Structure 1
Amino acid sequence: MAGEEGSPVAMSDEADSDKMNDAQIVPSSPGPIPDPGLEPYVERYSDTDPEVGRRVYRQIVTMYGLVPILAVAFVVFYFAIPRDAAVRFGPLHTSAMNLALGGTAGLAILLIGLASIHWAKQVMDDRESVDERHELASSPEDRKAVGQIWRTGAEESRLGRRKMIGLALGSALGALALPALVSLADLGPKPTSKLRAETIERTIWAEGVRLVNDVTFAPVKASDMEIGELVNAQPENLEKLEGAERQVERAKSSIIIVRMDPDSIKIPDSRKDWQVGGILSYSKICTHVGCPISLWEQQTHHLLCPCHQSTFDLGDSGVVVFGPAARALPQLPITVNSEGYLVARSDFTVPVGPSYFERDSRHDFKKGDN
């Protein structure tokens, strides 16, 4: 029957009802929204009440003025607090120096930020302005107006009337340079000639120290080496060191030992006693940027650095034959002891590793010195 559930009439009524509901849900277009414009300007207490303005002014100057004091405190703490001093907070503890330096430097930076925000909110002009959108390329008139805007901004900052704020800000920022300069001392000690001679310009090689394999630490016997062979080695006394000291000395003292036919190499008169039957030892550290090298070409006696292809002729006192390295590979004077093991005659005669401008290069071996 018509009107029963599922009948065509009932379905038509439901469709009409849905259309009516959709029409009620969809809102009509409101049209363009009018420009509300700027809200009425409300003056701040610091502008209307002279006493409030003066109090804000004093607060800003005080915060800026505390920064130089904190900067000086930073320097005092840096030199006065022992490096091993600690501060305990129950079961926790921290470095007293780190706490003092972090506290003074952090508080100084915080005060500069707070004072600047206080200045901007309470002293600088806070009237809102409207800037119409414009093309990306500024016109000459706009560029000319930038100067006027800058001058207007300077006037609105009111530094002309509140000169102490500018002076306090300048002294605060300038004082922060003091802790930064003092902290540079932590980059390391000043590289004086005496310090260099005791550190980077010396190794643990010394007279009588045996040359040992850098993996097994077995001493190297001259009679066991064959022509064309290369051995990576270290000083035997490296085993006595531990921790960071061991790693530092290992990095400086690493060597390679090679054996060549004495008739196929050039040995200058000044180095006749630096080798044993064609067995020579050189630093393993490239003189360019310090890469470890052991790419050995037996026929040409060339040693190639894998980093930047600097090539050294070990058959000619380690001179550079190709690449960016500027000086010969340092040679370690060696001999044999009573048991036939290879030992050092002395330390290297020149600093190992990359060159640096302070070092004395007069004793470097150069091609033509043979």
Structure 2
Amino acid sequence: MNVPLLDLGPQIKTLRNDIIQAVTKVIDSTQYILGPEVTSLERDVAAYCQADFGIGVSSGTDALVMTMMAMGIGPGDKVLTTPYTFFATIGAVLRVGAKPVFVDIDQESFNMDPAALEDALWQERNANSRIRAILPIHLFGQCADMDRILKLARKYEVPVVEDAAQAIGACCPVTDDQGNIEWKKAGSMGLTGCFSFFPSKNLGGIGDGGLVTTNDEEFVEILRSCRNHGANPKYYHSRVGGNFRLDPVQAVVLTIKLRHLEQWHDMRRANSRIYRKLFMDKGLFHAPVELPVESFADVPGAEEQNHHIYNQFIIRVPDRDALRSYLHAHSIGCEIYYPLCLHQQECVKDYNDQVFPVAEKAARETLALPIYPELTEEQISFVVDTIASFYASISLP
């Protein structure tokens, strides 16, 4: 049996006729830059994310870069984020000339550890650093602990930029001033939310694309200007921006897919439950296989919320690299997200001597298994059986 890490074929097959019709309409319109299709998608995604405004952009990376530029972040400024994520997060910070300040992650969620964030904020404030943003990542489809992060942001008067590339539709509990719990969606809580429409995302295009959400009526105009070389109006430039525009072909494809997104979330969550049951039946639950932790599952009302949308199904295991090779040998797709922490990358040598033990341990132990919506129970059972056979064949410490 062949089980790919991701198979977009069934999704495209189902939507093929609608996509071809919509793309043909764009081609016939001869309007290929921005246009009503992009505006419509921006409105729909913003509403879905509980945000007031959406700005379609060329990629999730450019969503971050454009946000940094719109905030005026540059040389001498610092942005707090984690070392365990895709490089684009710090790439955006570095491209505008600022410096990332790394904060270790939570052991269970892999997201920013609020206690470590508080320590970093205190240290940087005492050093008179120019802290311009807190940049938490909603990794693998689950929001960071935004309730605690937002409280720290208010205390230190630092804006929050949500890297929500992997988490469109995910939500988390936030406590209001009266102590009531409100469920907020990724991208609705910070100054901006930065989304990616890379094909592997839960809402993916047929190429690159992204979107920025915000609730700030003045800031959205700065973002729109930055998207088009800093122009406002055309040919008049009060700031430097870039070409960060989303094209209408991607917009119509994403609009079609958005209608199915909740169903796909449900299917991913159903697959996660099948994994849990089968791992438990095999006696692999907790040891040797640590399954994803749903951080907000015990919060009142969680059963009615998409508190984890499973962009990836991440397990922690001993002998990770050997297991990966074993799965590949049995035609099972799997991947390491991420094998080398950001502070250890060659291009940021000034950070190489820093130590973030939780992030570094995650980089050694985590493995992504297939979780896409159309995955069958038979395929999931084959994955679990193969993992069981691997651990039966070796001596565990």
TM normalised by structure 1 equals 0.20
Larger Rg: 1
Say which structure, 1 or 2, has more relative contact order (CA 8 Å, 6+ apart): 2
TM normalised by structure 2 equals 0.19
